[in-house]
Amino acid sequence: MIREKIVILNENGLHALPASRFVKLAEKFKSDVKIMKDGVEVSGKSIMGILTLACEKGSKVTLTTKGQDEEQAMDALRKILEGQD
Amino acid sequence: MAKERILKGIAVSKGISKGTAYVYETKEIKIMQTPVPTIYLEEEIERFLSALEKTTKELSNIKERINAEIGANFAQFLDAQIMMLRDREIIDTVKKGIESEKKNAEYIYHRVLDKYAKKLGASRDQYLKERVADIWDVGTRVLRNLVGLTHASVVDVPQGSVLVAHDISPSEAALINPEYVLGIAIEVGGRTSHTAITARALEIPAVLGVEGLLGKIRNGETVILDGNRGILIKSPTPGRIQFYKGEIRREVEYQKMLSPFCELPAKTRDGRQLDISANIEFFVEYTHAKKYGAMGIGLFRTEFLYLTRRGNPSEEEQFRVYDELAKKMKPDPVIIRTYDLGGDKIFSDYHEANPFLGWRAVRVSLDDVAFFKIQLRAILRASVNRNIRIMYPMISTFEEIKKANVVFNEVKKELKKEKIDFDDHLQVGIMVETPSAAIMSSQLAAQVDFFSIGSNDLTQYVLAVDRGNERVSHLFDHFHPAVLRLIKQVIDSGHKSHIWVGICGELAADPLAIPLLVGLGIDELSMSPVAIPKAKMVLRALTVPECENIAQKALNFRGANEVKKFLKRTLTKKFPGMGGIK
């Protein structure tokens, strides 16, 4: 299991398109993906869950990946949150 | 006979229709709570999953239909809805709920959705709040499929109806058939809602935001919907019906008389060719531009992209819109105007005393280069189609053009480095809408490939009149010789520097102004698509020398009224029996 604290740097926060890109990418990995903000944790493979977190640019979240491809998942998903995809 | 009542709303789509009110009420689905015996739990989950599958198919069908009829960009909201349907967290929660509580799928699913809707609804963020409507749009479809109700659909609306509803979901709005639905009246919503956009795209008259509508209109009663004035008339008096009959007939005859002009070239009688192009705000309007015979898009406003998202749309999102529009219009040109946003649209807590003299348009873009670059990149990438042009709004000084071009060239360099193809020769122009830009046009002309005169703002600034202020709006008149003289100056400066000069304000669509503008040497007129046939008709009856004569006279009057009186007299002579051209 990998756990990292990430500050969301994506211009639009984790809204609409970035959120759906995040989910589409997360679904490609076998690992379990979770995002936590302000003590609330949701599945990284759920668009509704992510939207309800209401992550704006500058929000601090904890991203957790767990499974056989957890490292690749962490690397790829971090990039979306940091707006470098 | 019932008393006539006039219900006021917001005019969002032009036209008039008389029809039978079809009150579209989505029947509440009763969600019953029923226990499910353990041996049937698996079956219950199966039932839920197949309802999801059926709904996915429904939405995919709607999406295909929209793609074919309106364009792929319009169907994007359905992608988001389909994604919600497939949401693993929701599916898993519902499955677990059915298993642990041994209750029916409808009950559990409804409760789960309600939880998400409440969370999003409580958000401070406008975008997230608006997703609640999407949740229930999707959710209601699934629930209907679960309880075995056929979806109440606007497809069932009988011919000759004026559709009356509290609200129509985006997926329903896309199914409206203009052959059956003559008008649309909705209790909620405004100019940028999905229903408004759909109504305009289908050219169905529509009035939105009619308060208390459903309580006042009964199914089957005769109503008149006036999409020009933004009203719905219940139980119209015979006099009123007579009046509107005349109005509808005149409109139909007028359109019929004008329709042959859509196809004809925009040429004066003695052969001078002008570009007549379209001002559009929404992608789907390209269909109108084509239908009415535009020779390109003279102004594509991009603010809508920003405003519907309450945030800067990503490069990809913008690129798709620009690219698709360019492809649809090829080989005709598409002029994309960079954001003309006021600071208040970008920062919700931002207010200023004088917005028209304040932080807006290119001033905002130049202050936030990262934000500006995203838009320029998207436009440049779409320029591979080789028919895109770009235009900066509200330029007031020479330095602004230079600054904007520095950013523009940086973006070009970046794209080259990334080996992304674009049109290196695409034309870059400016809106001339501030007095300083007009007065200095001879200096500015060397910096750009074209001028497009924004006559509305130019008039406001030159006459120092806020047309939104009722006390002074009567002073607003784009026929004021002060405005006309500046326009002449801009056209002359442009031509001296061998660049073309167009006009994209309301003046361009005013039939009275056409001889004047032609006489001043204008190269392009850009207007709302529906105004194009009339403009062509007027243009085709004129010759350049007579226009030059008209222009010279007009410039020497003392005020706007004298100019208009003169133009009316001249045009009535040219088009007798038309009851005046306006």
Q: What is the CATH number of the domain that holds B19?
A: 3.50.30.10
- B128–A15 CB contact, under 8 Å: yes
Residues B396, B430: Cα–Cα separation, whole Å:
10
Residues with Cβ within 8 Å of B32's Cβ and at least 6 positions away in sequence, in order, are: B104, B106, B107
Q: Which residues of chain B have pLDDT under 70?
A: 1, 26-28, 68-74, 126, 149-153, 155, 192, 307-311, 344-349, 577-582
**Residue among B110, B480, B504, B547 flagged as catalytic:** B504
Closest-approach residue (CA) in chain B for A57: B311
Cis peptide before B236 (omega within 30 of 0): no
Measured between CA atoms, how close is A61 to chain B, in angstroms?
18
User: B504 in helix, strand or coil?
Assistant: coil
Q: Is B540 left (phi over 0), alpha (psi -120 to 50) or beta?
A: alpha
CATH number at B121 reads: 1.10.274.10
**Class assignment of domain A2-81?**
alpha beta
Indicate if B262 belongs to the active site. Answer: no
Closest-approach residue (CA) in chain A for B134: A48
The answer to whether residues B357 and B453 belong to one domain is: no
Indicate if A55 belongs to the active site. Answer: no
The answer to whether residues B287 and B422 belong to one domain is: yes
Residues with Cβ within 8 Å of B498's Cβ and at least 6 positions away in sequence, in order, are: none
Class of residue B372 by CB neighbours under 10 A (exposed 0-12, middle 13-18, buried 19+)? buried
Domain positions in chain A are 2-81
Interchain contact B114–A (C-beta under 8 A): no
As given in the structure block, the two tokens for residue B252 are: 């139909």
- By DSSP bridging, strand B16-24 and strand B222-226 are antiparallel
Please report, as a single letter, which amino acid is at residue B127: Y
Residue B403 in domain: yes
Residues B558, B575: Cα–Cα separation, whole Å:
26
User: A61 in helix, strand or coil?
Assistant: strand
Measured between CA atoms, how close is B349 to chain A, in angstroms?
17
Say what the pLDDT of residue B284 is: 80
> Are the CB atoms for A2 and A48 separated by under 8 Å?
no
Class of residue A26 by CB neighbours under 10 A (exposed 0-12, middle 13-18, buried 19+)? buried
B118-131 burial, b for 16+ CB within 10 Å, e for fewer? ebbeebebebbebb
Residue B59 in domain: yes
Closest-approach residue (CA) in chain B for A42: B89
> Are the CB atoms for B24 and B259 separated by under 8 Å?
no
Say what the pLDDT of residue B579 is: 44
The answer to whether residues B419 and B552 belong to one domain is: no
The answer to whether residues B345 and B469 belong to one domain is: no
Interchain contact B309–A (C-beta under 8 A): yes
Helix (H) or strand (E) holding B317: helix B315-329
- Terminal-residue alpha carbon distance, chain B: 37
Please report, as a single letter, which amino acid is at residue A66: K
Residue B375 in domain: yes
Measured between CA atoms, how close is A56 to chain B, in angstroms?
9
Helix (H) or strand (E) holding A3: strand A2-7
Say what the pLDDT of residue B428 is: 98
Residues B309, B128: Cα–Cα separation, whole Å:
10
Residues B284, B278: Cα–Cα separation, whole Å:
13
Residue B30 in domain: no
Interchain contact B83–A (C-beta under 8 A): yes
The answer to whether residues B46 and B18 belong to one domain is: no
> Are the CB atoms for B44 and B104 separated by under 8 Å?
yes
Half-sphere exposure of B277 (CA within 13 A, CB side): 24
SS (H, E, C) B208-271: ECCCCHHHHCCCCCEEEEECCCCEEEECCCHHHHHHHHHHHHHHHHHHHHHCHHHHCCCECCCC
Say what the pLDDT of residue B350 is: 79
In terms of Cα–Cα distance, which of B275, B11, B26 is closest to B137? B26
- A54–B125 CB contact, under 8 Å: yes
Say what the pLDDT of residue B128 is: 77
End residue of a domain, out of B101, B130, B147 = B147
Helix (H) or strand (E) holding B416: helix B398-417
Interchain contact A49–B (C-beta under 8 A): yes
Residues of B in contact with A11 (CB under 8 A): 312, 314, 370, 374
Residues B265, B275: Cα–Cα separation, whole Å:
9
Residue B572 in domain: yes
- By DSSP bridging, strand A40-43 and strand A32-37 are antiparallel
Residues B292, B509: Cα–Cα separation, whole Å:
13
Measured between CA atoms, how close is A17 to chain B, in angstroms?
8
Residue B32 in domain: no
> Are the CB atoms for B538 and B525 separated by under 8 Å?
no
As given in the structure block, the two tokens for residue B255 are: 């359109």
Residue B280 in domain: yes
B105-121 and B41-69 helices, crossing angle to 10°: 50
The answer to whether residues B440 and B546 belong to one domain is: yes
Residue B31 in domain: no
Half-sphere exposure of A60 (CA within 13 A, CB side): 4
Which ranges constitute the DSSP H helices of B330-368? 343-346, 362-367
Name which of B80, B83, B123 is nearest A54 (Cβ-Cβ): B123
* Most distant pair of Cα atoms in chain B: their distance: 92
Q: How many independent structural domains does chain B possess?
A: 4
As given in the structure block, the two tokens for residue B282 are: 């929404």
CATH number at B529 reads: 3.20.20.60
Boundaries of domain holding B143: 38-147
> Are the CB atoms for B318 and B374 separated by under 8 Å?
yes
Long-range contacts of B130-136 (CB under 8 A, 24+ apart): B131/A51, B131/B80, B133/B169, B133/B170, B134/B77, B134/B80, B134/B81, B134/B84, B134/B170, B135/A48, B135/B84, B136/B169
Give me chain A's average pLDDT, please.
88
User: B342 in helix, strand or coil?
Assistant: strand
Q: What is the secondary structure of B31-47 as a DSSP string?
A: ----B--GGGHHHHHHH
The answer to whether residues B477 and B391 belong to one domain is: no
End residue of a domain, out of B226, B256, B286 = B256
| Residue A22 predicted with pLDDT over 60 | yes
Interface confidence (ipTM) of the complex: 0.80
As given in the structure block, the two tokens for residue B198 are: 């759909």
Say what the pLDDT of residue B582 is: 46
- A43–B316 CB contact, under 8 Å: no
